[in-house]
Chains A and B, each alone.
Chain A
Amino acid sequence: MANASGDLALVFGGVFSVLVFASALSAYLRYRYSPDGRNVVLENLDARIMSWWAIVAMLGFAFIWGKTGVIVLFGLCSFAALREFVTLTNTKRADHWALAASFFVVLPIQYLLVWHEWYGLYSIFIPVYAFLFIPIISVLREDTRQYLVRIAETQWGLMICVFCASHVPALLSLDIPGYQGRNVLLIAFLVIVVQSSDVFQYVWGKLLGKHKLAPSLSPSKTVEGAVGGLLSASLLGASLFWITPFSPLQAALLSLLITLMGMFGGLVLSAIKRDRGVKDWGHLIAGHGGFIDRLDSVVFSAPVFFHVVRYSWT
C-alpha cells in the first residue's frame, strides 16, 4: 500500500492548485468587471474563495495533528453548528438545563465515544439516550407551552449538528483490510466530493442554469446546476479512487450517492431556514453564511457513507 501521507500531500497539492487558480481567476474577474467592488456576485465569490483557503488550512492542520486533531475540529464545528441551530429554535427558559446538557455533556461525550471508537455506543447515544433524557430535563421545569415542538427541535439539532457530523471523524475507526493507516484519506474523499459538488452546482448553475430546481426552497439552485454538479463531482470522485479502497466504478457510484445525499441535505436545511424566515444560518464564514450553510451537505452524507463503507468493506 502506498504511503498515506504521500497521497495526502498529493491531494492537498491538488486542492492548493485549484485554490490558486480560483483566486487568480477571481482577482482577474474583479479587476475586469468589479473595479470599484460593486459587483455583488463577484465580491461574494471572492469572499467564498478566501473562506475556502481558511477551511482547507484548518483541515490540513487537523489531518497533520491526526485522529485527535480531526475529532477536535469536527467537535468545534458541531459546537458552532448547534449554536446556530438552537438560536433559531423556539426553546424557552424551561429548556435552559436541557440545552446546557446538549452543549456541554452530550456533544463532548459523543466525540469522546468516537475517539474511543466505541461504535456500539456512539451510534445510539444521541438517538436513544439523549432522546430520552433531554426531554426529562426539560419536563422538570413544568412548562408545557409548545413542549413537543421544543424537545423535537432540540433533538433534531443534536442529530444533525452532533450525531451526523461526528460520523466524519468516525470514518477513522473503520478497519478496512489492506487500508490500515490510510483512513484519513476517506475523510478527504468525502469532503472533497461533497463540497466540490456544491461548488460544481454553483458554477454550472451560474453558467447554464435556466430551470429552477426548487424555487420556494432555494432560489439559486437550478436543474442544470444540480445535474452538472452531481455528474462533475462523481467524475472527480472516480478519479480519486486511488486514495480509497474502492475501484473507479465503485468510487463513482459512492460519489453519486453522497452528492445526492448532500444536495438533499442542502434542500432540507434550506427548508428550515425558510420556515424560520432567515437567509443564512450565521455569519462566521465570510461569503458562505454560517457553519450549517457550509456543512449541510456533509452532515447528510457522512452517516450514509460511513455505513455503506462499514458494511461493504470491513
Chain B
Amino acid sequence: MKWPMDWLKRLAAYATAGMIALFARLLTAVRAIWYGTNPREVQRIYYANHASHGDSVLIWTVLPPRIRDKTRPVAGSDYWERGRLRQFIGRSVFNCVFIERASGSHSNPLAPVQEALDDGASLIFFPEGTRNTTDEMLLPFKSGLFYLARSRPTVELVPVWIENLNRVMPKGEVVPIPLICTVTFGTPFMYQPGTDKSRFLQQASEALTTLANIVREADRG
C-alpha cells in the first residue's frame, strides 16, 4: 500500500533538487574552484564558512552528482524541522543530518553525525555553529569539528570557502539578489592523533582563512 506514495515522494524530491540547483545557478552563476583537490569519491567532511541558509545548497549544487548523492549537510533541527515544506526539503531533498543546537540535553549532540559517517556518508559541516553576520572573516570555531575529526580520524577534512553568498541573502532579508558566487575547495588534511582541541581548531580555521585570501587574490590577477 505504501509504495506509490514513497515513489511519488522520491520523484518529488528529485524534481525539487533539480529546481533548487537550477535556481541557485540562475541567482549566483555559482562556479566550483577545485584549488587544493579534485572531486573524489572518498569520505570527506567539507567544512565551510557560514553566512546564509543557502551555504549548504551552494556546495551541494557544485558537487558532481555521484559525490552529491553521498554527501549530507549537517543542519540545526530548530530551523529545518519547522514546517512541512522545510522538513521535506531538509529530509527528502538534501538528506540532512539534524543536530540539536540547544545545549543542555545530556545526550551527545554529535551522535547522529557520527552515525552518518559510520554509514559512509560525506558531510557538509559549518564549524562556526551559526551564521556569521559580523565583518570578521570567520567566527571562532565551535568544538564540534574537533570531536568529529578525533573520533573518525580516517575521514578527510576539506576546507571550503564560499565567496559572496552573504551579500546575496544576508541574515534577515527575504528577497535574494543575484550576485556571482564561487565555492573553492582547499587542500584536504586529516586529524593528527594527539593534536589538542584548541590547536586543531586553530589549524582548521587558518586553513579556511588562507583559502579565502587565495580566492580574493586570484580574482585580481
A80-B29, A87-B164, A93-B170 are contacts. A99–B177 as well, Cβ < 8 Å?
Answer: yes
Q: Given the complex, which residues of B lie within 8 Å of A93, measured CB to CB?
A: 167, 170, 173
CA distance A86 to B179 in the complex (A): 7
Tell me the smallest distance from the CB of B151 to a CB of chain A, in Å. 39
- How big is chain A's contact interface, by range? 20 to 34
B139 at the interface (CB under 8 A from A): no
As a 0/1 sequence over residues 180 to 221 of chain B, the CB contacts with chain A under 8 angstroms (1 = contact) are: 100000000000000000000000000000000000000111
Interface size on B, residues (CB 8 A): 15
Q: Given the complex, which residues of B lie within 8 Å of A103, measured CB to CB?
A: 177-178
Chain A binding surface, main DSSP class = helix
Q: Given the complex, which residues of A lie within 8 Å of B180, measured CB to CB?
A: 83-84, 87, 282
The reply to whether A277 and B219 form a contact with Cβ atoms under 8 Å apart is yes
Task: Find residues 63-101 in chain A having any chain B CB closer than 8 Å to their own CB.
Answer: 79-80, 82-84, 86-87, 91, 93, 96-97, 99-100
A-B contact count (CB 8 A): 41
Q: Given the complex, which residues of B lie within 8 Å of A96, measured CB to CB?
A: 170, 173, 175, 177
CA distance A83 to B180 in the complex (A): 7
The reply to whether B221 and A279 form a contact with Cβ atoms under 8 Å apart is yes
The reply to whether B31 and A86 form a contact with Cβ atoms under 8 Å apart is no
A96-B177, A99-B177 are contacts. A283–B31 as well, Cβ < 8 Å?
Answer: yes
In the complex, residue of chain A having the shortest beta-carbon distance to the beta carbon of B31: A283
CA distance A80 to B219 in the complex (A): 19
Q: Given the complex, which residues of A lie within 8 Å of B178, measured CB to CB?
A: 79, 82-83, 86, 103
* Most chain B beta carbons < 10 A, residue from A80, A96, A284: A96
A87-B164, A93-B170, A96-B170 are contacts. A282–B177 as well, Cβ < 8 Å?
Answer: no
Task: Find residues 274-306 in chain A having any chain B CB closer than 8 Å to their own CB.
Answer: 277-279, 282-284
In the complex, residue of chain B having the shortest beta-carbon distance to the beta carbon of A102: B177
Q: Given the complex, which residues of A lie within 8 Å of B176, measured CB to CB?
A: 100
Q: Given the complex, which residues of A lie within 8 Å of B177, measured CB to CB?
A: 86, 96, 99-100, 103
A104 at the interface (CB under 8 A from B): yes
Of A82, A104, A278, A284, the residue contacting B220 (CB under 8 A) is A278
CA distance A2 to B167 in the complex (A): 52
In the complex, residue of chain A having the shortest beta-carbon distance to the beta carbon of B33: A283
Q: Given the complex, which residues of B lie within 8 Å of A100, measured CB to CB?
A: 175-177
As a 0/1 sequence over residues 102 to 123 of chain B, the CB contacts with chain A under 8 angstroms (1 = contact) are: 0000000000000000000000
Tell me the smallest distance from the CB of B52 to a CB of chain A, in Å. 12
Tell me the smallest distance from the CB of A284 to a CB of chain B, in Å. 6
In the complex, residue of chain B having the shortest beta-carbon distance to the beta carbon of A291: B29
A83-B29, A96-B170, A284-B29 are contacts. A277–B220 as well, Cβ < 8 Å?
Answer: yes
CA distance A7 to B54 in the complex (A): 48
CA distance A83 to B25 in the complex (A): 12
CA distance A86 to B31 in the complex (A): 17
The reply to whether A282 and B29 form a contact with Cβ atoms under 8 Å apart is yes
Q: Given the complex, which residues of B lie within 8 Å of A282, measured CB to CB?
A: 29, 180
A-to-B contact residues, CB < 8 Å: 79-80, 82-84, 86-87, 91, 93, 96-97, 99-100, 103-104, 277-279, 282-284
Q: Lowest 7 A-B CB distances belong to which pairs?
A: A277-B220, A83-B178, A87-B180, A99-B177, A100-B175, A87-B179, A279-B221
9 sample A-B contacts, Cβ–Cβ < 8 Å, listed by A number = A83-B179, A84-B180, A86-B177, A96-B170, A99-B177, A100-B175, A103-B178, A282-B29, A283-B31
